[in-house]
Homo-oligomer: A and B are copies of this chain.
Amino acid sequence: MTKILRKLSLLRYQAQMRENYTLTRLYVEADLSQGQVIDLSKDQAHYLGGVLRMTTGGSLRIFNGRDGEWEAQLTDISRKSGQMKVTRLLREPYACPDIWLCFAPVRKHRNAFILEKATELGVARFQPVTTQHTQYGKLRLDKMQSQIIEAAEQTERLDLPELKDPVTLEQLLGDWPEGRTLIFADEVGDAKPALETLKEISSSCALLIGPEGGFTPQERDLLREQNFVIPVTLGPRILRADTAALSLLTLWQSVQGDWG
């Protein structure tokens, strides 16, 4: 019986794949509603017309992070410009659970990696945090935003994670909102395992990941003095900052988020 159900659900899944997932998925800024006509940006036209070689009449999926996912049809397309018409609603709006990732930016490709993976793992807000060991030039927020959008397009998200301006650790803790717990990955032996701690949390939550080289002793003390901060451990091995971010997000989604 289970086998038959599985088979049916597999067929349903494949049908859905054929119908939807095969269609190119694009983020747009415009509001979305039935029948609306949207001008393509130069980049979008280049991508659809130039790279994908799509032609007038071709269908794609679009989302703006607010209005769900819609099917659209190209009414005009060249390599430099084009238009599409919104034809039908494919999926109702859905916002990822309310989980923040506060992270000290790390080296270029690891940073891109954190943005991509955390977007896949359904993070709601990115909060860059500068710490004493943080080493990077000026943050390219525009570049980070486009990396987030690209990840959201491929992971079938209907919303976009919010990207905040960087703050210092002191600012982050000083302006901390009422009723949100801050979980930080700490190698110190007395912290409880992450899963155990995350299970017990009844408030909204944020995760904090240190830079390569970790927090300084002063920063650790400052963090542990806050009544809204809980340190957790992620096992006996030393994890890179980007690994710790993904592991914490995975565990949070499994016990507090939408993986249940």
Residues of chain A at the chain B interface (Cβ within 8 Å): 2-3, 5-6, 9-10, 12-14, 21, 94, 96, 109, 113, 116-117, 120-122, 154-157, 187-190, 193-196, 217, 220-221, 224, 233-240, 243, 246-247, 250-251, 253-255, 257-260
Shortest C-beta distance, A192 to chain B (Å), equals: 10
In the bound assembly, the distance between CA atoms of A68 and B54 in angstroms comes to 58
B220–A10 touching, CB < 8 Å: yes
Number of copies: 2
In the bound assembly, the distance between CA atoms of A21 and B5 in angstroms comes to 53
Q: Which of B120, B188, B259 contacts A240 (CB 8 A)?
A: B120
Q: A195-B259, A243-B121 are in contact. Are A235 and B217 (CB under 8 A)?
A: no
Q: Is the interface of A mostly helix, strand, loop or mixed?
A: helix
B5–A237 touching, CB < 8 Å: no
In the bound assembly, the distance between CA atoms of A43 and B258 in angstroms comes to 48
In the bound assembly, the distance between CA atoms of A237 and B12 in angstroms comes to 17
Q: A243-B246, A250-B251 are in contact. Are A190 and B237 (CB under 8 A)?
A: no
A155–B239 touching, CB < 8 Å: yes
B235–A189 touching, CB < 8 Å: no
In the bound assembly, the distance between CA atoms of A116 and B13 in angstroms comes to 32
Shortest C-beta distance, A244 to chain B (Å), equals: 9
Q: Which of B157, B224, B234 contacts A6 (CB 8 A)?
A: B224
Shortest C-beta distance, A66 to chain B (Å), equals: 17
Identify the closest chain B residue to A231 (Cβ): B6
Identify the closest chain B residue to A242 (Cβ): B117
Q: A10-B188, A120-B240 are in contact. Are A254 and B257 (CB under 8 A)?
A: no
B117–A243 touching, CB < 8 Å: yes
B254–A194 touching, CB < 8 Å: yes
Shortest C-beta distance, A237 to chain B (Å), equals: 5
B257–A235 touching, CB < 8 Å: yes
Shortest C-beta distance, A167 to chain B (Å), equals: 24
Chain B positions within 8 Å of A120 at CB level: 237-240, 243
B195–A254 touching, CB < 8 Å: yes
Q: List 13 A-B contacts (CB under 8 A).
A: A3-B224, A6-B188, A6-B224, A113-B113, A120-B239, A120-B240, A121-B247, A154-B240, A156-B237, A156-B238, A193-B254, A195-B254, A246-B250
Supplied contacts A3-B224, A6-B188, 7 more A-B pairs, CB within 8 Å:
A9-B188, A13-B187, A121-B243, A155-B239, A247-B250, A250-B250, A250-B251
